[in-house]
Structure 1
Amino acid sequence: MTDIYLSVDVGGSQTKIIYQLDDQTKPSYLLLSPEIEEITKDKLNFFMERLGWIGSPSPDQQLWVEWNNRVVVLGEFAANFDALDRIKELKYENALWKVLGAVGLIVELNKVKVTAKKQINLELALLLPWNEYSDRRRFEEQLRVMLADFRVRQLSLKVNLERFLCRPEGGGLAALRIKQQGVDWLRTSQLAVLMFGHRNTTALYFDRGQLKLGDSPLLGFANMLDIVLDMTSGLDRERLSNAIFDARYAIINKVYSKDRNYSSRPDWISFDEIQALASAKDPTLREKEISNIADAINVATAQYWDKLNRWMDKILPRPLNEVIIGGGAAYHVEVELEKYFNCAWQLKKIYEYSSVYERTGQYIPKDDNLPMIPMVWGSGFITQVQETFNLDSEQTYRYSTSARLVDCFGMFDYLLGMETSQ
């Protein structure tokens, strides 16, 4: 009998984890920082003796895994050991340790009873970039070896991998949309999936039910951030990314006038979040610094989109019946995506005699003389993800968290669907 159903997306900005225990009626989620670093056991012991006892950090804030005399620290905890930037490393090798850490976290947080003789039975769904998808068998073989006997924090665990399901990034989005529309729809459609991640940007193309091509170059949002960092001083990726998305989501659901049925980009210089990035204390210097940051974001966005545009021109076949859009970074280039796929928001009046409108959630052609390829954000399941995990109470990040989770959620839904069908 399965004890844990687990879906993991080892993204470049966060590790997304969705799980459900056998005796639970609904899933839960965890988000971990992507950092990972291998250290010596002596180094871990020294830290714990010196600082580890201070306060009462939650398990996810002080997470490490031990296997075969190796020690790997994960998430926020890795920052204490000068973790390297591993954004250009292969995901699947680091994913081994992240899956072990996720299992240990789930066991500890949910107080799962563990004994020396008891094995935990696990069903796992994993998302990998398309360019690492061919490594899935090697990943599975090594994971089974590591799960047989390992430690997470103070827990000694033995885990039996009952089922392993691996799909390329975007596979969860595709599964949700196919479940929603049906197999007959899929067999008569040309469908593309675009995942805009922090490290990779992934494209999948389905032609009448068959996955015909995929690509996952290192064209992630981190590239855009690095351009801004090169043009400014005193910033880091995390602070900059948070400020950009704070400003973006502040206007993402704004009310539209009839002649503004398209998305707009923030006037970066006017937002408190962007202004807070400046470090100069002199008012004149500070004003110039803020202006420089805003200009750098605009320049970097243009360069980022230019690379994406040329890549999509090369990789996406025509015609397409629709394109599924996923990943938090997609919202940063929503303006460009609408133009690229010739989409404009269909509007409705807020009330009968109003002169202002709001989005209906449906697209119409931006230019009636050009073909439109409808975009479907998050396979249409972002609201369901919000409701499942009680994210509808979020404000600034309710789109961000839901958009980041939906691919992982799709894989989890698919995994449970396989269990139910049997």
Structure 2
Amino acid sequence: MAKLNREAYPEVILTLDFGGSGTKGIVQIRGGKPTVLWMEPAVIEANPIFLRDKAHNLGNTYPENAAWVGIGEDYRAVGYLARTVYRATLGLKPRKYELAVYKTLAVVWTIAEKFKLLDSFSVSLALLLPPGEFEDSAFLKPMLKDALDEFDTPMGIMRVHLIGYECFPEGGGIYAMYCKNTGEAIRRKVIALVMLGYRNASAIVSRRGILNRGKTANLGMVRMVDLVMERTSGYESEELLEAIIAAGSEPKAQHFYHLCNSKMNFNRQIEQIIFAVNSARDEYINSLANWLKEVLPTKNELDEVIICGGTADYLRDDLDAIFPVTPVVWHGGVEISKILNEQWLGNRLADVWALSVYHGIKVKAGLKNAEGSRQEAEVG
């Protein structure tokens, strides 16, 4: 029996979704089971001397809470460290690929720490970008390859070999799994794939299996949070978001008690927040419905709509109302196992999990083909 060519098989298979509310990843170490990794989305420039001084905290925290990376002279704090120590914002304005390199390196270092890997190993990457930014994937691959070749971390220099790379528009993982489960029927249907995240809303149309380029708009959940903040004062976006999500479609006073630190005009403050949330939700839904009407085929053309993303569940009743006659397939039918849901991310993992399944199968198929070719060459 021919010996398995381990050099052709990556030590790490990594799938990443650079969401506005956090970087979500599915990690599979060679011979191991898939694991979920989540990091906060913040990235900020920082002084390497100060960053190295933080390394002594590594024994007291998870690596994802103390991540920083250096590429040449360019040093960045990433995730929790960036947000809490350096007060970095969520970084929603830059295009995702602009920060994706730092986030990817930080995740790779975190994986090395968590799984006790050496400072040099191989990785195969699958990434998700918004349809409106998908062309940026052409810039991202060489940037990632060069950066992974040598970068600084809290534990020293790492050298990681990129032996596999592919990039998909957001929703691509769910679509790939949906096609696999649907089979030949996909070639007879017109399907809309709507992805609603924290930063963006995206829409892709599949006409008998042929995908269009897709559209992306700044209509993620952050749009509603911004509207609420415009109509109130003194509240942070993150605490507002948590309260809004918890309140659901019927906000009550108890959902917002913890936001009001002053006892003066307490009831008035609560009334103001509830009014702001209700009016902002109506305006947000209206904007989203009008945009979908512009970018999607008419209801008479559509056979199905796949709706996914973290914001989708919050707006479920409203979205059902937008598509009263078109069948809606929530999250493409992708189910997240309890083992993978230890971070309580739920359906927000659907896209990255589905893509990780597809990518893992493709990596193993590539290895099998490589082994077959090698064996043929040896026989010949």
Letter in 1 for 2:76: V
Q: Please report how far the alpha carbon of residue 378 of structure 1 lies from its aligned counterpart in structure 2 after TM superposition.
A: 1.2
Deviations 1:11-52 (A, max 9, x none): 11111011100020x20011111100011223424x639xx6
| 1-structure distance, mates of 2:237, 2:77 | 21
* Kept after mapping to 2: 8 A contact 1:269/1:275: no
Say if 2:105 is the partner of 1:100: yes
Letter in 2 for 1:200: N
* Kept after mapping to 1: 8 A contact 2:19/2:41: yes
Say if 2:340 is the partner of 1:389: yes
Say if 2:40 is the partner of 1:33: yes
Match of 1:14 among 15, 22, 25: 22
| 2-structure distance, mates of 1:387, 1:44 | 36
| 1-structure distance, mates of 2:57, 2:168 | 40
| 1-structure distance, mates of 2:90, 2:57 | 27
Higher helix share: 2
The residue aligned with 1:159 is: 160
Displaced runs of 4 or more, over 4 A: 52-55
| 2-structure distance, mates of 1:378, 1:419 | 24
| 1-structure distance, mates of 2:37, 2:315 | 27
Q: Please report how far the alpha carbon of residue 84 of structure 1 lies from its aligned counterpart in structure 2 after TM superposition.
A: 4.0
SS at match of 1:387: coil
* Kept after mapping to 2: 8 A contact 1:194/1:203: yes
* Kept after mapping to 1: 8 A contact 2:64/2:107: no
| 2-structure distance, mates of 1:240, 1:390 | 24
Q: Please report how far the alpha carbon of residue 191 of structure 1 lies from its aligned counterpart in structure 2 after TM superposition.
A: 1.0
Q: What's the TM-score once normalised by structure 2's chain length?
A: 0.89
* Kept after mapping to 1: 8 A contact 2:122/2:160: yes
The residue aligned with 1:338 is: 320
Q: Please report how far the alpha carbon of residue 223 of structure 1 lies from its aligned counterpart in structure 2 after TM superposition.
A: 1.1
Give the percent of matched residue pairs that are identical in Structure 1 and Structure 2: 31
- In structure 1, the gaps of 5 or more residues are 249-264, 343-371
Q: What's the TM-score once normalised by structure 1's chain length?
A: 0.80
RMSD of Structure 2 on Structure 1 (CA): 1.8
Q: Please report how far the alpha carbon of residue 390 of structure 1 lies from its aligned counterpart in structure 2 after TM superposition.
A: 4.7
Say if 2:278 is the partner of 1:298: yes
| 1-structure distance, mates of 2:41, 2:317 | 28
- 1:288-327 maps to which residues of 2 (within 5 A)? 288-318=268-298, 319-327=301-309
SS at match of 1:158: strand
* Kept after mapping to 1: 8 A contact 2:126/2:359: yes
- 1:165-204 maps to which residues of 2 (within 5 A)? 165-182=166-183, 184-204=184-204
Q: Please report how far the alpha carbon of residue 388 of structure 1 lies from its aligned counterpart in structure 2 after TM superposition.
A: 4.2
- 1:6-405 maps to which residues of 2 (within 5 A)? 6-24=14-32, 26-45=33-52, 48=54, 53=57, 56-79=60-83, 80-114=85-119, 119-182=120-183, 184-248=184-248, 265-266=249-250, 268-270=251-253, 272-282=254-264, 285-318=265-298, 319-342=301-324, 372-382=325-335, 385-391=336-342, 398=344, 401-405=345-349
Q: Please report how far the alpha carbon of residue 171 of structure 1 lies from its aligned counterpart in structure 2 after TM superposition.
A: 0.6
Letter in 1 for 2:252: I
Letter in 2 for 1:389: L
| 2-structure distance, mates of 1:328, 1:407 | 10
Letter in 2 for 1:104: W
SS at match of 1:198: coil
